[in-house]
């Protein structure tokens, strides 16, 4: 019996005791009491219904991914290449969505989704990572948990198959947030993560890309528009994922091989909490991809969250301002994917394209490459 039942039974009992001849004043009092109790019962009924309604509309879930932004143009694509990208994007985002649908955490969804992209040679992260100037690879990744503001990051690792998992291990099993270089490799190995030989990461495509960038650097002659677009794209390439789970927890993760031909152990925005990755249950989860230097200077991911928290902007409006006004005014380009604590999403870019995909609360999947899709 609910609260309503208790109130009704008290009223009946009360009424039975008073079953006697009533004078006018007593009748009026009784009428008032009946009306009051009817009112209270109605209010309780309304509240219960509203609670039931809330139960019928559970916390929305959602997931958004990117596989890098840049000068991605239809004229430089073959149908086969495009289909291959769309296939992996669809597969990756679906892996995370299924986890969320079954009640899994946003952390698990982000990790497993990024694994799919890290394991694909198509994206500049994990297996498809680009080569440094000295023909080595260096991988960066970061992860943030919106519920606790816990975070982990690694930069410049060379032997970890799935850098996103190393970032999560740093968060969970070290007193630190960010580890780098050989130390990060040692830590990941101690944690039992899968270690691979450096050759695992090398793909013919990236070896050729490094040659082409180096040749272009040596020639220093005028390049064609296609060559310029190719060279420019060597600055980009990252994968990232943001997710909202059934408990209302947000998470964000980013993983990259950095820039082709990079020197001096350069660190981009991908492993920097606040720049490439940020998650906060109070606002949103963001993963960025673009010309890393500008994204660090603009503290992109945290700035979007701050515009939401302090100015009450929507995730779309906050993302638009940061990407199209702030980053663009410095001369930088790239994009972000984001999801807020209500499941609203943003996929914002100021480049001609960004590999991206999304599954909404109803399971509807969207995969896009070009900006104008």
β partners of residue 54: none
Choose between 151 and 347: whose C-beta lies nearer to its own copies.
151
> What's the CA gap between 225 and 228, in Å, rounded?
5
Of 27, 74, 81, 176, the one binding its own copies (CB under 8 A) is: 176
Q: How far is the CB of 339 from its own copies (least distance, A)?
A: 19
Could you confirm whether 277 is annotated as catalytic?
no
Q: Does 182 bind its own copies (CB under 8 A)?
A: yes
Give the N- to C-terminal CA distance of the chain in Å, as an integer: 55
What's the token pair of residue 33? 């009491």
Q: Does 146 bind its own copies (CB under 8 A)?
A: no
Q: How far is the CB of 64 from its own copies (least distance, A)?
A: 21
Of 2, 183, 198, 363, the one binding its own copies (CB under 8 A) is: 183
Of 40, 177, 195, 328, the one binding its own copies (CB under 8 A) is: 177
Choose between 64 and 178: whose C-beta lies nearer to its own copies.
178
Residue 113 Ramachandran class (φ > 0 left, ψ -120 to 50 alpha, else beta): alpha
Q: How far is the CB of 89 from its own copies (least distance, A)?
A: 29
Q: Which stretch binds its own copies (CB under 8 A): 82-90, 183-191, 192-200, 247-255?
A: 183-191
Q: Does 149 bind its own copies (CB under 8 A)?
A: yes
Contact 250, 308 (CB under 8 A): no
Chain positions 87 to 106 lying near its own copies, rule: CB under 8 A, are none
What's the token pair of residue 360? 């909404």
> What's the CA gap between 307 and 198, in Å, rounded?
41
> What's the CA gap between 73 and 79, in Å, rounded?
12
C-alpha R_g of the chain:
27
Choose between 201 and 278: whose C-beta lies nearer to its own copies.
278
Residue 309 Ramachandran class (φ > 0 left, ψ -120 to 50 alpha, else beta): alpha
Question: Who contacts 56 (Cβ-Cβ below 8 Å, separation ≥6)?
Answer: none
Of 60, 96, 128, 156, the one binding its own copies (CB under 8 A) is: 156
Of the candidates 71, 238, 254, 260, the residue annotated as catalytic is: 238
Q: Does 74 bind its own copies (CB under 8 A)?
A: no
Number of chain residues interacting with its own copies (CB under 8 A): 43
> What's the CA gap between 185 and 160, in Å, rounded?
7
Q: Does 265 bind its own copies (CB under 8 A)?
A: yes
Choose between 22 and 149: whose C-beta lies nearer to its own copies.
149
Of 91, 151, 79, the closest CA to residue 118 belongs to 91
Q: Does 186 bind its own copies (CB under 8 A)?
A: yes
Choose between 126 and 156: whose C-beta lies nearer to its own copies.
156
Chain positions 224 to 263 lying near its own copies, rule: CB under 8 A, are 263
Contact 109, 143 (CB under 8 A): no
Choose between 94 and 260: whose C-beta lies nearer to its own copies.
260
Class of residue 17 by CB neighbours under 10 A (exposed 0-12, middle 13-18, buried 19+): exposed
Instruction: To the nearest 10°, report the CA torsion of 326, 253, 255, 277.
Output: 30
Chain positions 299 to 338 lying near its own copies, rule: CB under 8 A, are 299, 302-303, 306-307, 310-311, 330
Class of residue 262 by CB neighbours under 10 A (exposed 0-12, middle 13-18, buried 19+): buried
| Residues belonging to the active site | 238
Contact footprint for its own copies (CB under 8 A): 144, 149-151, 155-156, 174-184, 186-187, 263-268, 272-275, 278, 292-293, 296-299, 302-303, 306-307, 310-311, 330
């Amino acid at each position: 019996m609910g609260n309503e039942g208790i109130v009704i039974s008290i009223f009946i009992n009360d009424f039975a005791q008073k079953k006697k001849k009533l004078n006018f004043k007593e009748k009026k009092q009784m009428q008032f009491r009946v009306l009051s109790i009817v009112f209270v019962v109605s209010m309780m009924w309304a509240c219960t219904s509203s609670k039931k309604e809330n139960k019928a509309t559970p916390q929305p879930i959602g997931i958004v991914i990117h596989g890098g932004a840049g000068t991605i143009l239809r004229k430089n694509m073959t149908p086969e290449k495009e289909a291959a990208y769309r296939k992996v994007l669809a597969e990756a985002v679906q892996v995370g969505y299924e986890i969320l649908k079954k009640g899994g955490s946003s952390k698990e969804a982000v990790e497993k989704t990024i694994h799919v992209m890290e394991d694909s040679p198509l994206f500049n992260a994990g297996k498809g990572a680009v080569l440094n100037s000295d023909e080595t690879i260096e991988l960066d990744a970061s992860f943030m948990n919106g519920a606790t503001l816990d975070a982990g990051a690694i930069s410049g690792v060379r032997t970890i198959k799935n850098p996103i998992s190393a970032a999560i291990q740093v968060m969970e099993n070290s007193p630190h947030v960010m580890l780098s270089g050989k130390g990060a490799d040692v830590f990941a190995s101690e944690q039992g993560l899968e270690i691979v030989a450096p050759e695992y990461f090398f793909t013919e495509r990236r070896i050729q890309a490094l040659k082409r960038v180096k040749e272009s650097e040596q020639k220093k002659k005028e390049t064609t528009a296609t060559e310029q677009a190719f060279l420019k794209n060597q600055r980009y390439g990252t994968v990232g994922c943001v997710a909202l789970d059934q408990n209302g927890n947000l998470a964000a993760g980013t993983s990259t091989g950095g820039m082709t031909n990079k020197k001096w152990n350069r660190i981009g925005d991908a492993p920097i909490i606040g720049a490439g990755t940020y998650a906060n249950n109070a606002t949103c989860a963001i993963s960025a991809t673009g010309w890393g230097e500008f994204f660090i200077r603009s503290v992109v991911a945290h700035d979007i969250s701050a515009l939401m928290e302090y100015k009450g902007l929507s995730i779309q409006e906050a993302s638009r301002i940061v990407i199209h006004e702030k980053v663009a005014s410095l001369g930088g380009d790239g994009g972000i994917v984001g999801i807020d604590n209500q499941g609203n999403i943003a996929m914002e870019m100021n480049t001609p394209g960004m590999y991206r995909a999304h599954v909404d609360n109803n399971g509807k999947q969207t995969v896009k490459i070009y900006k104008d899709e």
